[in-house]
Structure 1
Amino acid sequence: MGRIKAKRERLTIPRIEAFKRPADKEQAFLWDTESPRLAVKATASGKAFIFEGKLKGQTIRRVIGDVLNWTIEDARSEARRLQTIIDQGNDPRELDREKAESKTRAKAATEAAEKEAENRKQYTLRALLDAYSNLLESKGKEQSARQTRSIVKCHVLKPHPAIADLPASEITAHHIASLVRSVLEQGKERAAGLLRSYLSAAFNAARKSPFDAKLPASLIPYNVTINPVEPVSTIPVNRGNRTLNTEEMKSYLAGLADDDLSNMALRLALFAGGQRMAQLLRAKINDYEPEAQTLRLWDGKGKRTTPREHLLPLAPKAAAIIEKLIDRAKIQEDANAKKENRAPAYNNLLLFSSYGKTQLVETTPGKRAAEICKLMKCEPFDLLDIRRTCETMMAGLGIHKDTRAQLLSHGLSGVQTAHYDRYEYITEKRKALVAWEKRLDEIATGKKSGNVVQIKQEKAS
């Protein structure tokens, strides 16, 4: 492409303004006499400064810019710069491309660095442990989630914020060992064992998330490829062995006498054989069958992906507590419905509700049990110890361990139980709970019941 012939004059503002493209031409050029490679190009869309030069016999044309945005002197300076590049044997177009590519690379590097910095702030150990707790909650494991949050808060977030704020992908076995060791050095062996367990579970979930569709995609950006907890030695969690004796159980029963909601929850858990409080507090009115006096709970404990139905054929005292709770819930619902100008709806009402709509906080009955324990001035005990006491005393009544396992919904996850054994043990569980209530009545009154007999130690069939 050669230079288009046109008149050459020293470029000035008036001359540029007066320069017009002929009507029969698509473009026209006004060349500068002071900078011979500089011209004004006129087209239908406007006027622009251009540069035209030659490199190794090839014509090189570059648009400098609109005449409204560039001064004449600036355009001449740019033309001289471009000519200098050509004189040096370089193609300014290639240099511009390299410059643009370099700018693009620099921008991409800056954006990557900013994203990396943001990821470091966002996908931290702190955030991972919170995400893992949320995962537990989404699976219905509220108690495990609460315990995880409590352990993490006490032994990671508060004492070690610098480690907590590190990217999860940069946490090493040394960091984990440091966290666990600091708890052990406080003499809290159980807490140390639980902390290691929760950390390992959180990292395993994040590590597997890219390949396991059952895990949330939100764990993938943590970019965890290994579990840094694995090299850290496990800490056996000592099993509790506290059980209440007969006199302590009598005092405990006396402390549950009134119909405070927490007391009712503790009494029901006790009369029902030592049920888990978390499961009991989630029960609703339509989980109770009044004719059969059967309460349905949902056991989501352990590695179950869906909660397991857990049926309890209640004895008279436990059934009476349920009936009181149902009456209480309906009274609350009637008041709420009247206030909200609607018809009452009973079926999905919680049995244990503070205001008719909100479930009683799971930790509240435990706190009440601790208050009773303090008043008893005895060796400390908690709800797990009460559960252990129930099973121990029921074993003393001759209730078979298979029946106790079904009654307390122990780890019933073997192949036989999970796939073949659909028998609900209703008869055995009801006999066990009737005997258990009579035993509790004996303890509370100090009187032997003439019709309490030992249940023969036979395997439930």
Structure 2
Amino acid sequence: MPRVNFTTGRLAAFACPPDKAQAFLWDSGVTGLGIRATPRGSPSYIFQREFQGKSARITIGAVVDWSIPRARERAREMQRDIDQGRDPRLVKAERQAEDEATRAAAKSAELTVGEVWALYLADRKPVWGVRHHDDHLRLAKAGGEKATRGTRGRGVTIAGPLHSLMGLRLVDVTAPVVEAWAAKEAKTRQSSARLALRCFKAFLNWCAEHADYKAQMQSVNPAKTRRTREALGKALAKSDVLLKEQLPAWFAAVRAHPGPVMSAYLQILLLTGARRTEILDLTWKDVDTRWKSLTIRDKVVGERKIPLTPFAAQLIAALPHLKKNPFVFASATAKDGRITDPRAGMQAACKAAKIEGLTPHGLRRSFKSLTEWLEIPAGVVAQIMGHKPSATAEKHYTVRPLDMLRVHHERIEAWMLEQAGIELKPEAEPQDGNVAQFIA
């Protein structure tokens, strides 16, 4: 094959004839270095030599991207590979893989906590409950949106505890950084920061186990340090609970509440021992008046069925049915279509009853505590409340059907009403079936 000395002018003038599929021009300076051109594509440097009895051709790169000296040096490198018994095609593939890995590592090093946090939430969403997923969104929210409530007088929403960490590079999340964050958050919202820390530790553990992010992680989870724990302190056990002698005053105040939906909600919260969001999320499809049961969306086991006791059934039957609204404790003004925050109603009732410090979750604690007066089996109470079984026999050998739970649950309700001085009067109940049939 004729060879010429590569110059800028010769390369610029070289082109493939239109009647040919490809054309080659070979360099006289370095054996095996050439240019391949096609009628449509731009010319490229190539290296072609014999390797192990067969012709091997490797593309070096486009002529516009490579200078002549640089192309000649790469061709010499490939010739040395052949002289050493190495296939230059494999060497090129290895180099490309190394370059790609280097670029990926550089890109990964620039990933922010916020970017990976979004991927983490998407990955874990199928195995999380809705409330747990929403908690993660809330903890990292930016804030700054106009609002009239919960802004501490600012007029805009407050950023979540983890938001200040979202802009950091993942590789920059170190123990001192987390410790400084904890010290700052502890001054204004210690309880929220403790929850945020637990969620953030789980996030960093996930990153350390993920192939794409583990290279950016510290050898030890930076959120697990003594200084961080000390800054946020330990959560104290809550003790807000209704005493037996407080039942008359509390029921009287709640039943006198001007909002019938809130009044019924608070009473049922106490009479079922459920979590506050479990009752808030109750829909008419979950109320079965035929078999007298409530289907609760449980954060532990997915869902559970508990008895629909007589007084609770009367409270629910008396609630208004808002058109096209599926929620039992509906609200015509709330964005979600149901009561969103029962704390104001709870505080108003407790103020009227002269009971201090009682929270909606305190009603769940009260249900468990008040059952001690009746010596109800602990496993029965746990099953009604949705607590995990605490013993092997409870987990694997004790199965209580709904009718067995009903015997105990109705006894609990009757005792509470007796202590409160409320007489359960027989009233007309909805027809047998699901209350959903009465929705307009």
Matches within 5 A, 1:231-270: 231-232=225-226, 234=229, 235-245=233-243, 246-247=245-246, 250-251=249-250, 253-257=252-256, 260-270=260-270
- The letter for the 2-side match of 1:269 is L
Partner of 1:278: 277
d(CA) in 2 for partners of 1:112, 1:241: 55
Matches within 5 A, 1:12-411: 44-45=19-20, 53=28, 94=75, 119=108, 122=111, 124-130=112-118, 138-139=126-127, 141-153=129-141, 163-186=165-188, 189-208=190-209, 221=213, 224=217, 227-232=221-226, 234=229, 235-245=233-243, 246-247=245-246, 250-251=249-250, 253-257=252-256, 260-272=260-272, 274-301=273-300, 306-307=301-302, 309-324=303-318, 328-329=320-321, 332-333=323-324, 349-354=326-331, 360=337, 363-373=340-350, 378-411=355-388
d(CA) in 2 for partners of 1:136, 1:104: 36
Q: Is the 8 A contact 2:295 2:304 kept in 1?
A: yes
- The letter for the 2-side match of 1:265 is Y
Q: Is the 8 A contact 2:178 2:223 kept in 1?
A: yes
- The letter for the 2-side match of 1:166 is L
d(CA) in 2 for partners of 1:46, 1:149: 58
Secondary structure of the residue that 2:368 maps to in structure 1? helix
d(CA) in 2 for partners of 1:40, 1:116: 40
Q: Is the 8 A contact 2:253 2:352 kept in 1?
A: no
d(CA) in 1 for partners of 2:247, 2:191: 26
Instruction: Tell me by how many angstroms 1:239 deviates.
Output: 0.9
Instruction: Tell me by how many angstroms 1:240 deviates.
Output: 0.1
Secondary structure of the residue that 1:312 maps to in structure 2? strand
* Cα offsets for 1:429-459 (capped at 9, x unmatched): 43333442442354255x999xxxxxxxxxx
Distance 1:430-1:314 versus aligned 2 partners, 3 A rule: farther
- The letter for the 2-side match of 1:275 is A
Secondary structure of the residue that 1:364 maps to in structure 2? coil
Count of residues in correspondence between the two structures: 362
Instruction: Tell me by how many angstroms 1:198 deviates.
Output: 1.8
d(CA) in 2 for partners of 1:404, 1:130: 38
Q: Is the 8 A contact 1:40 1:50 kept in 2?
A: no
Distance 1:436-1:154 versus aligned 2 partners, 3 A rule: farther
Aligned with residue 433 of structure 1, among 388, 410, 429: 410
Q: Is the 8 A contact 1:294 1:312 kept in 2?
A: yes
Q: Is the 8 A contact 1:369 1:382 kept in 2?
A: yes
Q: Normalized against structure 1, the TM-score is what?
A: 0.59
Distance 1:427-1:151 versus aligned 2 partners, 3 A rule: same
- The letter for the 2-side match of 1:332 is K
- The letter for the 2-side match of 1:427 is M
Distance 1:252-1:169 versus aligned 2 partners, 3 A rule: farther
Partner of 2:438: none
Secondary structure of the residue that 2:279 maps to in structure 1? helix
d(CA) in 2 for partners of 1:269, 1:403: 17
Q: Does 1:420 align with 2:397?
A: yes
- The letter for the 1-side match of 2:417 is L
d(CA) in 2 for partners of 1:208, 1:62: 48
Q: Is the 8 A contact 2:141 2:160 kept in 1?
A: yes
d(CA) in 1 for partners of 2:33, 2:412: 102
Distance 1:117-1:253 versus aligned 2 partners, 3 A rule: farther
Secondary structure of the residue that 2:371 maps to in structure 1? helix
Asked which structure has the greater CA Rg, the reply is 1
Secondary structure of the residue that 1:176 maps to in structure 2? helix
Distance 1:440-1:222 versus aligned 2 partners, 3 A rule: farther
Q: Is the 8 A contact 1:332 1:355 kept in 2?
A: no
Instruction: Tell me by how many angstroms 1:227 deviates.
Output: 2.8
Secondary structure of the residue that 2:296 maps to in structure 1? strand
Partner of 2:433: none
- The letter for the 1-side match of 2:328 is L
Instruction: Tell me by how many angstroms 1:248 deviates.
Output: 6.9
- The letter for the 2-side match of 1:198 is C
Q: Is the 8 A contact 1:298 1:310 kept in 2?
A: yes
Instruction: Tell me by how many angstroms 1:47 deviates.
Output: 12
Structure 2: runs of 5 or more not aligned: 5-9, 44-66, 80-88, 144-157, 426-440
Instruction: Tell me by how many angstroms 1:318 deviates.
Output: 0.5
- The letter for the 2-side match of 1:287 is D
d(CA) in 1 for partners of 2:290, 2:35: 92
d(CA) in 2 for partners of 1:376, 1:165: 48
Q: Normalized against structure 2, the TM-score is what?
A: 0.62
Structure 1: runs of 5 or more not aligned: 4-28, 30-34, 71-80, 211-219, 337-348, 450-461
Q: Is the 8 A contact 2:241 2:363 kept in 1?
A: yes
